[in-house]
Amino acid sequence: MKKIFCTLILLFLAISSFAQTIIGTWYGVLKVQGTAIHLIFHLAKNDTAYTSTMDSPDQGAKGLAANKTDFTGNQLTIDLSKFGIKYTGAFKPDSNIITGTFMQGALRLPLNLSSKESTEVAQQPARPQDPKDFPYKQEEVTFTDTKGGNQLAGTLTMPASGHASKIVILITGSGPQNRNEELVPFNHRPFLVWSDWLTRHGIAVLRYDDRGVAKSTGDFQAATTADFANDAEAAVNYIKSRNDLKGLAIGLMGHSEGGIVAPLVASRNKSVKFVVMLAGPGVPIVELMTRQTADQLKLNGVSPEIIKLSTQTNLKLYTAAIRYNNLPDDAFKLKLDSILYNDFKTYPADALGNQKPDDIVKRAVAEISSPWFRYFVTIDPASYLTKVKCPVLAIDGTLDMQVNAESNLAAIKKALDAAGNKNNTEVDLPYLNHLMQKAQTGAVSEYKTIEETVDPVALQSVSGWINKLP
């Protein structure tokens, strides 16, 4: 799930290039209070103007589009004002580097870019569960979301026998991700592992790049959960359009935000014959995010006093975001500005650390004002779970600190029972975190240190359940 401002984590990004030209891919390392943040900028040019996108591998951000990119007289300017960020630099063709400054709010840091990728970023070791061979059929495919016009690219895998009775469409969690749901800062590829496991166990799989990511077209930053549901439904329609796949029972398996998308599509499309929710929300999103932030802050050792203040502020922001959702963007932002500034007046002097209230407000309001957040905060999963009639498996880990297993699984069961759903199973798996790894605390910081990508108990639970379906 997406992080919100109370974690006080800055969003950082990157640039790229090729040979002796500004066009291409540029790599840099931003040093922030002793922490190295790797940044990648992808620079391109069409007939009339330069364009760029940015990645922050250490924070899982990819393909973020700049508002404006200008390159005049060897001076490069990348305007990311929608994220409160700006980069300016001077291109030095003799040494093929860009020397410049990264700016976010009041922050001003030197950032030099090179066309050569840092070996620290480039050489991440494979995880033990990354497949080393593929004893089954793989096919590169593309299909179109007719509602948005996006071309989505993915991989279809079929059991080695060439025969299957069921096919699963994998739906990623929040944030721009490729078909492997690759989590770059943690060096894990969950959907590569899930796809490989399911296919080896006789289940066909279709996984695809999010819109605007890797080989898929579209604008990820302008998309909402409803748009991602349209993309998933386009995958359903693609399978139905192929004569060689028409006889397969189509299932949707979504992780995290994908666990919202899967039942949302199933509630309106009878072609979906089963659903698997991996760490999927069941409670209203306002309740989920409020609990999520409190749990994360507690794990980080934040005092109960600050957690209480943060929770109160978040609840006010989310409630206001719903109440004022229909206002124009500027008016919407003013409402949120007012809430934050008023709340900060009640905070202890050291509560915000060395961060200025203006900078926090700017970042928080920019995120909450995004199309994705303005839609996401209004979601109550019960509104569509109560319409899902097909079989549903919902699993979560007891150490999931982003989607609390107890409250969300209970809410999912309640909603499905209200739908008259006769085949719903809710399972809490001991000691597993949000990624379905065996964990110690469930903290996000553990994701990278845990070698397994998906615990075998989770893999077996899903494949066993699917294969028992008629």
85-89, 185-189, 274-278, 344-348 — most confident range: 274-278
Q: Please tell me the predicted confidence (pLDDT) of residue 148.
A: 87
Q: Please tell me the predicted confidence (pLDDT) of residue 22.
A: 79
228 within 8 A of 261, measured Cβ to Cβ? yes
406-417 pLDDT, tens digit each: 999 999 999 999
Q: Does residue 6 surpass a pLDDT of 60?
A: no
**pLDDT band (50, 70, 90) for residue 4:** very low
Q: Does residue 364 surpass a pLDDT of 60?
A: yes
Q: Please tell me the predicted confidence (pLDDT) of residue 8.
A: 28
Note the pTM of the prediction, 2 decimals.
0.77
16-43 pLDDT, tens digit each: 222 346 788 888 888 876 677 889 998 8
Q: Please tell me the predicted confidence (pLDDT) of residue 353.
A: 67
Q: Does residue 5 surpass a pLDDT of 50?
A: no
Regarding predicted confidence, which is higher, 120 or 160?
160
Q: Please tell me the predicted confidence (pLDDT) of residue 37.
A: 84
355: CB partners within 8 A, 6+ apart: 8
Q: Does residue 117 surpass a pLDDT of 60?
A: no
Structural domains for the chain: 5-115 (2.40.128.120), 137-284+379-468 (3.40.50.1820), 285-376 (no CATH)
Task: Tell me what percent of the residues of the chain surpass a pLDDT of 90.
Answer: 59
Q: What is the phi/psi pair of residue 190, to 5°? A: -55, -45
Segment 417-438 mean pLDDT: 98
pLDDT averaged over every residue in the chain: 88
Q: Please tell me the predicted confidence (pLDDT) of residue 107.
A: 78
Q: Does residue 73 surpass a pLDDT of 80?
A: no
**Centroid of chain to Cα 303:** 28
Alpha-helical (H) ranges within 250-284 are 258-266
Q: Please tell me the predicted confidence (pLDDT) of residue 93.
A: 67
SS3 call for 389: coil
376 within 8 A of 408, measured Cβ to Cβ? no
Segment 418-439 mean pLDDT: 98
Q: Please tell me the predicted confidence (pLDDT) of residue 382.
A: 98
Please name the residue that has the structure tokens 């800062």. 185
Q: Does residue 171 surpass a pLDDT of 90?
A: yes
Q: Please tell me the predicted confidence (pLDDT) of residue 23.
A: 81
Q: Please tell me the predicted confidence (pLDDT) of residue 95.
A: 63
239-263 pLDDT, tens digit each: 999 999 989 999 999 999 999 999 9
